Amino acid sequence: MRGSASRAQIAEGTALSRATISEITAELRDAGLVVLAQAPAGSTRVGRTPEHLTLNPATGVIVGVEFSHTRVTVVACDITHRVLGSRMLDHGKEEPWEQRFTTATDFVGQLVSTGAASFPLRAIGVGVPGVISGRAQVLAALEQRLTEHYRVPIRTENNARLAGLAEFSWGAGQDMRDLIYMRLSEGVGGLLIIDDEPRLGNTGSAGEFGHVCLDPNGPVCRCSNRGCLEAYVGMGAVLRRAGAASVEDLVDALDRSESRAHAVIADAGARIGLVLANACSILDLSSIVLGGALSEAGEYLVRSVRQTIVRHVNAGIAENLKIQVAQLGSLDGALGSVALVLRDRTIPVGARTTSATARDERGRTA
C-alpha cells in the first residue's frame, strides 16, 4: 500500500469483496496499523466523500543501507514509503570493511534516534556488491554487527539489483510490469522484472549483466575472467579511455562535442546495447531502465544503446522498445534495500496479527 486509498479502491486492487476489506481494515485500525487519511486533493466526486485509509507512519521505521565499492549510503523511511532522512559518505576502494560497518552503524543510529524517525526500528535492508573478495564472510560479519546493535530482522541482497527494485517501486519503472534494469557504475549489474516480480534465478545471480562475456580474449575483469561487459563499460574504464577525471567532466566533454568523449560513449553504448539486445530477444522484453553513474551521460548514451538494440532484435521488440534513464539518483541502492524489506511478508510491521490476516495466512499455507 502506497499513499492512501478508499476501501472500494482497495477492494478493486485486491479482488477481495468490500465486506472482507471492511473487516480487515477495521481490525487493522484497531491494531493501530492503519489510520484515516485526507481524501486526495482535487476530488470532483459529488456527494459523500468516501473515507481514505493509509498505513500508520508511527508503526515503525525501515532503514536501507547500501555499500557500493566507494560509498556508504543509509536512508530511513516509514512504512508509507516516506523518506525521513539519509546519510552518505564516500571512501576509497580499499576502505576496510570494518570501517564501512562502523560508518553504516553510526548512520543508522543517527537516523533512528532523531526527528521524525524516532519511531520503532522494524527492520534493516542491506545492499552489497555482487563481486567482492570474501563476500560470504563480509555478509555474515555485517549481519552479526547489525543484529547485535539493533535486534531487528536483517535482509541482504546484491546492491545493483536493489537499485533496480527501487526504480521499479518508485522510479522510472514504477508503471511497468516487465523490465530490464542495468546499473552502470564501478560495477555493472541489474535486475529482471517479469510479470511484476523480480526474477533472481536458481542461484540468485540473475541480472549479472556485467559478467556477460563479449570477447574471451578481451581485458581481464575483476571477476578474473576476460572480456566481460564490466571490463569495457565499468565507470573507471570509461573515464580512463575518455581522459576524464569524473562523470561530471565526461558529461561536460560530451556537451562540448569533444570527439574523444563521444567515441568512448558510443563504444560503451554499443557494447551495452549488444548485451541488452540478447536479453530482450531471449526474454521477449522491450522496457529498459539504465541507472548508475554512467547513465548521467543521458541521451548521448541512450542513443547508442538504442541503435544497437534495434539493429539486433526482431521488429516487434524494436517497435515497442522503451529505454529510460533512472530517476532516483544516488539513493537508489539504499531505497532498494527499503523496498526489499517492504516486500518481505515474513517481517512484521505491527504489534500483533489480526484474525482476518491470520485466516488469510492459513489459507495460503493450507
Residue 347 in domain = no
Give me 227's grid cell: 572480456
Each residue's pLDDT tens digit, 77-92 = 988 888 999 999 999 9
Q: Please tell me whether residues 313 and 244 are part of one structural domain.
A: yes
Residue 224 in domain = yes
Q: Please tell me whether residues 12 and 142 are part of one structural domain.
A: no
Q: Please tell me whether residues 179 and 323 are part of one structural domain.
A: yes
pLDDT band at 361 (very low <50, low <70, confident <90, very high): very low
Taking the C-alpha atoms of residue 243 and residue 258, their distance in angstroms, rounded to an integer, is 11
Taking the C-alpha atoms of residue 235 and residue 274, their distance in angstroms, rounded to an integer, is 18
Amino acid at 146: L
Residue 358 in domain = no
Q: Which residue has the higher pLDDT, 3 or 27?
A: 27
Q: Please tell me whether residues 249 and 290 are part of one structural domain.
A: yes
Residue 151 in domain = yes
Each residue's pLDDT tens digit, 259-308 = 999 999 999 999 999 999 999 999 999 899 999 999 999 999 999 999 99
Taking the C-alpha atoms of residue 160 and residue 230, their distance in angstroms, rounded to an integer, is 13
Residue 364 in domain = no
Q: Please tell me whether residues 79 and 30 are part of one structural domain.
A: no
Sequence-separated (6 or more) residues with CB below 8 Å from residue 303: 269
pLDDT band at 39 (very low <50, low <70, confident <90, very high): low
Q: In Å, how far from its chain's centre is CA 242? A: 29
Q: Please tell me whether residues 210 and 307 are part of one structural domain.
A: yes
Q: Does 210 score more than 80 pLDDT?
A: yes
Q: Please tell me whether residues 135 and 180 are part of one structural domain.
A: no
- Domain CATH code at residue 30: 1.10.10
Q: Please tell me whether residues 198 and 296 are part of one structural domain.
A: yes
Q: Please tell me whether residues 249 and 310 are part of one structural domain.
A: yes
Residue 360 in domain = no
Percent of the chain with pLDDT over 70: 90
Using DSSP, state whether 31 is helix, strand or coil: coil
Q: Please tell me whether residues 320 and 221 are part of one structural domain.
A: yes
Q: State how many domains the chain has.
A: 3
Q: Does 357 score more than 80 pLDDT?
A: no
Q: Please tell me whether residues 269 and 303 are part of one structural domain.
A: yes
Each residue's pLDDT tens digit, 112-134 = 887 555 678 999 999 998 767 77
User: Which range marks the domain in which residue 187 is found?
Assistant: 174-327
Q: Please tell me whether residues 240 and 304 are part of one structural domain.
A: yes
Taking the C-alpha atoms of residue 31 and residue 12, their distance in angstroms, rounded to an integer, is 23
Taking the C-alpha atoms of residue 326 and residue 57, their distance in angstroms, rounded to an integer, is 27
Mean pLDDT computed over every residue of the chain: 87
Using DSSP, state whether 131 is helix, strand or coil: coil
What is the pTM for the complete model shown? 0.84
User: Beta strand pairing status for 287-291 and 179-184?
Assistant: parallel
